Structures are given as C-alpha cells and as structure tokens.
Amino acid sequence: MNSASLREAVIDISAISANVELISDLTETDHFLAVVKADGYGHGAAVAARAAMEGGADWLGVIDGNEAAELRAAGIEAPILTWLHSPFEDFATHAELGLDVGVSSIDELNRAAAAGVSNVQIKVDTGLSRNGVVEPEWDSMFELAASLQSSGGPRIRGIFSHLANAGVEADSIQLAAFERASGTASAHGIEPELLHLAATAGAIGFPASRFNLVRVGIGCYGLSPFSGVPSAELGLKPAMQLRTSVVSVRRVPSGSGVSYGHRYRTDRETSLALIPLGYVDGLPRSASNRAKVWINEEKFKVSGTIAMDQLVVDVGDSTVRTGDQAVIFGDPLEGYPSADDWADAAETINYEIVARVGSRVQRRLRES
Ligand SMILES: *Cc1c(COP(=O)(O)O)cnc(C)c1O
C-alpha cells in the first residue's frame, strides 16, 4: 500500500449482488429497491447501485435530488425514488432527471407538480413520526393528488411509509395504518402501481409488510438489521473491509501511558503498534479501549483513546512489524472483527460504523 491507499475500504461488489439476490429470493416481491443513500452507506453510491442491480434490484432509493444526480452522472438510468427534501427544493432536478419524488406534504406535491415532475410517490406517516403526510391530512392530500393526476399533472406511482421496528405490535399498528392510507387513496380513485412499507428488517422479518416492493439498505451491504443476529445467520455477507497498514511499532516499558488522557497504561514491557485511522475516518471514539483490530491472524484490543487520525494497539510479544496489514473490520467468517463488533464496542449500530467511514479512506473494489 502506498500513501495514496494507506486507508482502504475494500468493497466486495459480488457480495452486494449476492445479498440482493438472497433477500429478493426470500421476499419474492415484484420489485426490489436498493437504498444507496449516504454514498451507499459508505460503500460508494454508484458502485453499490450497479452491484445491487446486477443482483436483481430494479429500483434505487436516495434521499434527494443531489444524491440522485450523482447516480445519473455515473450513467445509471434505473428508476430512482427520493424522499427527504429541502424546504427550498423546486424539484427542477427531479423533473430533468426523471426522478420519482417521494412527497410528504401538500406543499411538496404542489411544488413537484409545478416543476413538471412526471411521477410522485406519496409518503404517509404511519407512526414513525418523521416525515410523511399525517393521517388527518390524508384525505385532502389524496384529493389533491387525484385531481392533479386527472388533469395531466404527476402520476401517483406509489404510496409508501417506513416502520419504526419497535416490535411486532407497533409494526402491526403501522401496517394497519398503511392499509387505511391506501384505502383512503383508493376512495379518491388512486390505485398506485407501487405500495411499500418494508426496509430490510420488515423485508426479512415481517412478511405482511412486503407488499409489492421492499426498500432494502443495510441488507444489501451484508449487515443484519437485527441486534444480536449476525450477518451469517441471515446468509448475508458483509461487503466492506476497512484496512490499513501498521505505520510503526515500538517497544515500551511497563507503566507507559498510551494516547490522550493516558486511558491505557502498559502493565508489562510490551510492543505498541500505531494504526493510522481515527475518528475522522469513522472509527467511533467511544470504542476506545474496547474494539479490536486484526493483525497477522490475531485480534488486539485498541489501547487507549482513539484520536482523530490514529489509534494504538498493545500487541504484547507478537511479531508485528511496520507495514503489516491491519484490518479494522470485515467479514467475521474470515476471522476479522465485524462491523457489529465495533458497533457493540461503541454502543451503536452497524449502520453507523460503515456509513461514517470517512472521505480520506479510499474505496477499492473487489470481486470475490
Ligand atoms: C434508509 C431507509 C431505508 C433503508 O433502511 P434499511 O434498514 O437500511 O434497510 C428504507 N426506507 C427509508 C424511507 C429509509 O430512509
């Protein structure tokens, strides 16, 4: 590794395709929307989109026109749905790029119509309490949508909502609300081509939420949406391996304080290896003294505070040399710490571990 590629996220594109194939074989829905927002959860949006389509995805989802424009600029022509817009968004980009606008309010629908957008999908809030049209406004929303649709305005291609994953009972309450929303639409003569509620957790664990499209993010990247259920148990393969090289190794006496605040102190003469990745590269500082790093078939605990650019591991008397490869996380079946291990160490979720891998880390593609 030269300095240009000292920090690498190796992306296994075949794993992404295989994960999509596995989940769509399970859901058997007519459509599969791969969620590639946030630069494909850190894997690279266009790379993830192509790999997902290779695995059978026929739709892509991102939050807004900017993320979608990046996919179009990369030559991707698949249908794209967006769902989180600036209050100042005029939807001109959406119209020009042929994007489906997910609208969460009457105001957004009016702006999309004024911009000449061809297809909208109406997002309804069924209990997540984020965006989406709230139930008291469903009637007026669908009335407006029906009238725009019948007068040459945007076609209502879909109705969708998002689950809170707050347990079987809460999910079922949301499902019932979603059915009321589509009933209200139907009463206004709107029979959309697409109905969708499930993200990865629903797609895998809540079959009644599948309808005819599933919006799958984390599962595409081979990570489990369920805490305590590892990827392998679901047949998924983690697609990202974060790695670097040891930049120095030094022998230190017992009692040496390590990194900011001396939150680690050696209890014997030992060797310390310096790893050039820190919190700006996405490693959570809260995993200091907890998470593990793989070097030469062994896993070593992070010793002391994770800094902005670097961390230290106490490697004891193991033979670790400057230039040896260090894997922060990867596929646990290959012996590496997993994104889940890092998430546990930082008391967060695997989504955050991969999605926050920073821009200094070069993405490198691998086909397994
Ligand atoms: C991010 C997101 C998804 C994907 O969720 P996963 O849990 O990663 O599958 C699906 N739908 C919406 C609306 C989202 O914001």
Amino acid identity, residue 48? Answer: A
Ligand 1 centroid distance, CA of 30 (Å): 18
Of 214, 233, 171, the C-alpha closest to 23 is 214
- Which pair of structure tokens corresponds to residue 132? 């989406």
Query: Which of 354, 107, 108, 65 has its CA nearest to residue 221?
Result: 354
Q: How far is the CA of 35 from the centre of ligand 1 (A)?
A: 6
Taking the alpha carbons at both ends of the chain, their separation in whole angstroms is: 20
Residue in 37, 123, 237, 292 annotated catalytic: 37
Asked if residue 1 has pLDDT above 60, the reply is: no
| CB of 83 closer than 6 angstroms to any ligand 1 atom | yes
Ligand 1 centroid to Cα of residue 129, in Å, is 15
Cα 201 to ligand 1 centre (Å) = 9
Residue recorded with tokens 């009238």: 147
Q: Is 217 in the pocket of ligand 1 (CB under 6 A)?
A: yes
- Over residues 212-239, the pLDDT tens digits come to 999 999 999 999 999 999 999 999 999 9
SS3 364: strand
Q: Could you tell me which of 276, 330, 264 has the C-alpha nearest to residue 301?
A: 264
What are the pLDDT digits (tens) for 193-204? 999 999 999 999
How much distance in Å is there from the Cα of 231 to the middle of ligand 1?
A: 17
* Ligand 1 centroid distance, CA of 96 (Å): 25
pLDDT category at 22 given cuts 50, 70, 90 is very high
- Determine the Cα–Cα distance for residues 76 and 129; give it in Å rounded to an integer: 32
For the Cβ of 20 lying below 6 angstroms from any atom of ligand 1, the answer is no
Q: Mind listing the pLDDT tens digit for each residue in 237-264?
A: 999 999 999 999 999 999 999 999 999 9
What local confidence, expressed as pLDDT, does residue 332 receive? 98
Please choose from 20, 23, 26, 35 the residue to mutate so as to test ligand 1's pocket, defined by most ligand atoms within 8 A of CB: 35
Ligand 1 atom with minimal separation from the 162 CA: 13
The CA–CA distances, whole Å, from 301 to 4, 70, 129 equal 26, 38, 39
Cβ 343 vs Cβ 352: under 8 Å: yes
Name which of 347, 328, 350 is nearest 339 in CA terms: 350
Q: 299 an active-site residue?
A: no
CA of 149 to the centre of ligand 1 (A): 27
Atom of ligand 1 nearest to the CA of 63: 15
- pLDDT at position 16 over 60: yes
Helix, strand or coil, per DSSP, at residue 128: coil
Render pLDDT for 299-340 as a digit per residue (tens, 0 to 9): 999 999 999 999 999 999 999 999 999 999 999 999 999 999
- Confidence tier at 286 by pLDDT (50, 70, 90): very high
Identify the residue whose C-alpha is closest to ligand 1 atom 6: 217
Q: What percent of the chain clears pLDDT 90, i.e. is strictly above it?
A: 98
Q: What angle do CA 193, 198, 203 make, to 5 degrees?
A: 110
The reply to whether ligand 1 has any atom less than 6 angstroms from the CB of 162 is yes
- The pLDDT of residue 5 is 84
Catalytic residue among 123, 260, 292, 299: 260
Q: Round to whole Å and give the CA distance between 222 and 16.
A: 7
264 an active-site residue? no
pLDDT band at 367 (very low <50, low <70, confident <90, very high): confident
Q: Is the CB of 213 under 6 A from ligand 1?
A: no
Query: Strand ranges (DSSP E) for 8-110?
Result: 8-12, 31-35, 59-62, 80-82, 100-103
Mean pLDDT of all residues belonging to the chain:
97
Residue 337: HSE in the Cβ half-sphere, 13 Å Cα cutoff: 27
Ligand 1 atom closest to residue 203's alpha carbon, by position in its atom list: 9
The CA angle 119-125-131, to the nearest 5 degrees, is: 75
61 and 215 Cβ atoms separated by less than 8 Å:
yes
Q: Is 81 exposed, middle or buried (0-12, 13-18, 19+ CB in 10 A)?
A: buried
Q: 13-221 has which CATH code?
A: 3.20.20.10
**To test the ligand 1 pocket, which listed residue (162, 218, 221) has its Cβ within 8 A of the most ligand atoms?**
162
Closest alpha carbon to 176 in 208, 147, 143:
208
Sequence ranges of the chain with CATH classification 2.40.37.10: 240-366
Would you state the pLDDT for residue 2? 61
Could you give the C-alpha distances from 85 to 62, 149, 221, 237, 316, in angstroms and in order?
11, 21, 25, 32, 51
Report d(CA 303, CA 287) in Å as an integer.
10
Domain with CATH 3.20.20.10 in the chain: 13-221
* Number of helical H runs and strand E runs in the chain: 11, 19
Rounded to whole angstroms, the Cα distance separating 338 from 331 reads: 6
* Confidence tier at 19 by pLDDT (50, 70, 90): very high
Query: CA of 341: how far to CAs of 204, 320, 344, in Å?
Result: 22, 22, 5
Give the position of tokens 């391996």.
241
CA gap 34, 61 in Å, rounded = 6
Name the residue with the closest Cα to ligand 1, atom 12. Answer: 162
Give pLDDT, residue 178. 98
Are β-strands 270-275 and 248-252 bridged in parallel, bridged antiparallel, or unpaired? Answer: antiparallel
What secondary structure letter does DSSP report for 88? T
Q: Given pLDDT bands bounded at 50, 70 and 90, which one contains residue 3?
A: low
| DSSP character at residue 226 | S
The reply to whether ligand 1 has any atom less than 6 angstroms from the CB of 223 is no
Q: What is the pLDDT of residues 37-92, one digit of tens each?
A: 999 999 999 999 999 999 999 999 999 999 999 999 999 999 999 999 999 999 99
Domain at 240-366, CATH homologous superfamily = Lyase, Ornithine Decarboxylase; Chain A, domain 1 (2.40.37.10)
Q: Is the CB of 62 under 6 A from ligand 1?
A: no
Ligand 1 pocket check for 328: Cβ under 6 Å: no
